Structure 1
Amino acid sequence: MDFNLSDLQRMLLDSAERYIGDHYSLEHRRSLRDSADGIDHAAWQTFAELGWLSILVPEELGGLGGSMADVAVLAGALGNRCVREPFTSSAVLSCTLLAGAGETQGAVLESLVAGEARITLAHDEPGERYDYRSPRAVTLAEAGGTLALSGQKMMVLDAPSTTHFIVSAQGADGLALVLVAADSAGVSRTDYALYDDSRAADVAFDRVAVSGENILASGAAAEALLGLALDRARIALAAQSVGAMEAELEICSAYLKERQQFGQAIGKFQALQHIMADMFVAAHQARSMLYFALSQLDAQAAERERAVALARVHIAEAAQLVSRQSIQLHGGYGVTDEYEVSHHYRRQLIIEKLYGDLAYSFSRAAA
């Protein structure tokens, strides 16, 4: 794998550092709590104009035809400033599922690329924990000559701001992935905020009418496509986590140089230097594991799954060490809302839980 940035990656990184650096201040991020869905709609439109939402869309469908390495560069910049817009759920996970369905979903992909549509996966169900292979309790069955979707989903990430759901359901041929408009008759949801102020919802489907053209995949094809999309989403989140760790290192380094105690900067204390050294090593090892997972994303499914699971384990453990020590270095007030490190700490906790937590990744790697 070539670790040098390509022209596209340099363009993505430059645009991200300029826009995100200027726009996503601590005060701006805190102000989004008062919005109904927790996102900055003007910023999302800018994401579209900068081409960030089209990285994984094939060129023949109007996208950039980029790779997950390109996504990781951008995701790292998003994580560096604790950006919580629904980039992973829409532009990575859902984009992979829609592109896998082929040209039949070209119009929806165009809306996503234009920033008009935001799409998220509704998969997790009550009574289970990260169960991505078992039969779904939500059903897709024929009723009165039409297909109807019925059942409940929980913890649907970014649901309050979504325009469409991709719902995993049990159909006649096994697993089915179904595209459903969020405002369809029979769809209801209960919204809530997560610990990092991002949003999720529990969603109920009461005999929601589904047309055949909105079934993205079914059977073994659906299982393979969902597995690929979820692994891509996990790596995008891992890249955000690595970006957040590197930001925490910068914040702590600056703080240790500025904070005075006993007439000198606390960064001169050897005990704190040792903590920073441990954080530095953990962050760099996490980036190495990210590169390892990226190098295996196009391998056979079993090799890809193992690489992603191992990377998630190492990166999640490193994120816990770095974010907790960042709080420690700032003292008791590091946990308060006025300090940047507290926001990174909360974001790292949420990232570790999405699409399979640390324990799930351990078991997946062992299997």
Structure 2
Amino acid sequence: MDFNFTDDQEALRDAVRKWVDRSYTFERRNAIVKAGGFDRAVYGELAELGLAGLYVAEEHGGMGMGPVEAMVVMEELGRGIVMEPLKHTLVASGTIGAYAPEDVKAQWLPKIASGEALVVLAHQERAARYNLHKCETQASQAGDAWTVTGSKSIVPAGDHADAFIVPAVANGKLALFVVERQAQGVATRGYGTQDGSRAAEVTLNKAPAQLLTLDGITALEHAVDVGIAATCAEGVGALDKTMGLTADYMNTRKQFGVALSTFQALRHRMADMKMQLELARSMSYYASLKLNATPSERRRALSRAKYQLGVSMRFIGQNSVQLHGGIGVTDEYAGSHYFKALTQLEMAFGDTLHHLGEVSERMQDTAGVFA
């Protein structure tokens, strides 16, 4: 199999990397964190690069690209631990593009592609524990109009988003709806998260809603898998940068008059971290390449990938802090922010233990050493 990227994909990577290096400096990121964890101007810059329209068809003003291009972009944003929720834009645009009726596509996709509208998935509930089938939010229909009542937790940039994709139970079956943040009956409570980004609790009280699809569980599982693939790629970028910061520190920090990188035991530790990075990278490729597979195959693949990314993020993050010593957890040093970002990514769209359980449940008769 050819794992080389095309010239267009490399050009896309180069454009995003240059933007991160030039425009999303550590100082600018710190200022955004202090201001609340979300900057609409930064999101607008990402949209100007065309990134908000990666999954939007050209007929709706997007770039019409696929999972590999999204992976390339998210890796580079991960290297800069960019907080603005582009991966949730990919989730929303991919879900609307694949499952929504034509009038909903025409209404939302052009605005998403241009950056005019930020639409995010609001699916987590307090009692669900990552189980997509558990949903207490209810939808009611009166004629052609729908309303939604319930609560959603940890909605990315929830108090800044223009609309939410909301799973709710309609006539005993899960469905997906689009709910505008400014609609009557919608209330948000924003807060900062561990990595400095922003999330919100969203409360819906008979909020007017637009039906996206009645086949909610199929669409929601696909949406979450898109999010997992993007999270894996973002994690690889953050891991790569963490490794670079750690190597630079070991080459410059001296102990007993020599650089830390000369100590064999520490070099072995770095070799183990590098192995975990490459395992994560290969599984991120696997996740993105499986996004268009059949649902059962796709779900198995994405859980496998997220489990390995969780293991790698925990291993590399913790070892990086240990190799740095005290400076590794100080707020002034970039490495501590990568550690916090990796810790949060490990829990996004299902933590490591959850996906280990998913992998176990989806094992087939042919699984095992002697298969």
TM range (shorter): over 0.9
Distance 1:127 1:314 in 2: 25
Offset of 1:201 from its aligned partner? 1.1
Instruction: Report whether the alignment pairs 1:97 with 2:95.
Output: yes
Q: Which runs of 4+ in 1 moved over 4 A?
A: 143-146
Q: Which amino acid aligns with 2:189?
A: T
Say whether the 8 Å CA contact 1:196–1:347 is kept in structure 2: yes
**Partner of 1:155: helix, strand, or coil?**
strand
Q: Classify the secondary structure of the residue corresponding to 2:159.
A: helix
- Distance, in Å, in 2 between the alignment partners of 1:161 and 1:24 is 20
Bigger drift between 97-106 and 114-123 goes to: 97-106
Give the whole-Å Cα distance in 2 for the aligned partners of 1:332 and 1:10. Answer: 37
For 2:126 and 2:291, locate their aligned partners in 1 and report how far apart those are by CA, in whole Å.
30
3-state secondary structure, aligned to 1:197: coil
Q: How far off its partner does 1:166 sit? A: 0.9
SS at 2:208 equivalent: strand
| From 226, 229, 238, the counterpart of 2:223 | 229
Give the one of 339, 343, 357 matched to 1:349. 343
Whole-Å separation in 2 of the counterparts to 1:28 and 1:281: 32
Structure 1 CA distance for aligned equivalents of residues 78 and 179 of structure 2? 29
Distance 1:139 1:67 in 2: 33
Displacement of 1:147: 2.5
Looking at structure 2, the residues matched to 52 and 44 of structure 1 have their Cα atoms a distance apart, in angstroms, of: 10
Aligned with 1:159: secondary structure? coil
**Alignment partner of 1:7 is 2:7:** yes
Map of 1:362 onto structure 2: 356
**Is 2:225 the partner of 1:251?**
no
In structure 1, the residue corresponding to 2:2 is in which secondary structure? coil
Q: Distance in 2 between matches of 1:57 and 1:244?
A: 26
- Residue 304 of structure 2: aligned partner: 310
Question: Which of 336, 349, 356 is the matching residue for 2:330?
Answer: 336
CA contact (8 A) 1:79 1:241 kept: yes
User: Structure 2 CA distance, aligned partners of 1:22 and 1:15?
Assistant: 11
Instruction: Provide the residue aligned with 1:22 in structure 2.
Output: 22
- Considering only aligned residues, what root-mean-square deviation do their CA atoms show, in Å? 1.5
Supply the distance in 2 between the matched residues of 1:242 and 1:117 (Cα, whole angstroms).
28
Please tell me whether residue 326 in structure 1 is matched to residue 313 in structure 2: no
Check conservation: 1:12, 1:52, Cα contact below 8 A.
no
**Is 2:159 the partner of 1:160?**
yes
Q: How many residues align?
A: 359
Structure 2 regions of 5+ residues with no counterpart? 362-371
Matches within 5 A, 1:2-81: 2-36=2-36, 38-81=37-80
Residues 144 and 56 of structure 1, relative CA distance in 2, 3 Å threshold: closer
CA distance in 2 between counterparts of 1:106 and 1:355 reads 28
* TM-score of the aligned structures, taking structure 2 as reference length: 0.93
Greater CA drift, 23-32 or 69-78: 23-32
- Summarize deviations over 1:52-80 as a string: whole Å, max 9, x none: 11111122322211111110001000111
Contact 2:61–2:114 under 8 Å retained in 1: no
* TM-score normalised over the length of structure 1: 0.94
Contact kept? 1:32, 1:39, Cα under 8 Å: yes
Is this contact kept in 2: 1:8–1:70, CA < 8 A? no
2:290 corresponds, among 279, 296, 311, to: 296
Whether contact under 8 Å (1:54, 1:63) holds in the other structure is yes
Deviation of 1:313 after TM superposition, in Å, equals 0.7
| Cα distance in 2 for residues equivalent to 1:2 and 1:94 | 30
Unaligned 5+ runs, structure 1 = none
Question: Cα deviations across residues 303-329 of structure 1 (Å, max 9, x unaligned)?
Answer: 111111011111110111111111111
CA distance in 1, matches of 2:281, 2:150: 40
Equivalent-residue separation in structure 2 for 1:145 and 1:318 (angstroms): 48
Shift of residue 145, structure 1, vs aligned partner: 7.9
Is this contact kept in 2: 1:80–1:240, CA < 8 A? yes
- Matched residues in 1 for 2:329 and 2:140: separation? 49
1:229 is displaced (CA, Å) by: 1.3
Q: How far apart are residue 254 of structure 1 and its match?
A: 1.0
Give, in whole Å, the separation in 2 of the partners of 1:146 and 1:303. 36
Q: Which amino acid aligns with 2:78?
A: G
CA distance in 1, matches of 2:223, 2:177: 14
Contact 1:61–1:103 (CA under 8 A) maintained in structure 2: no
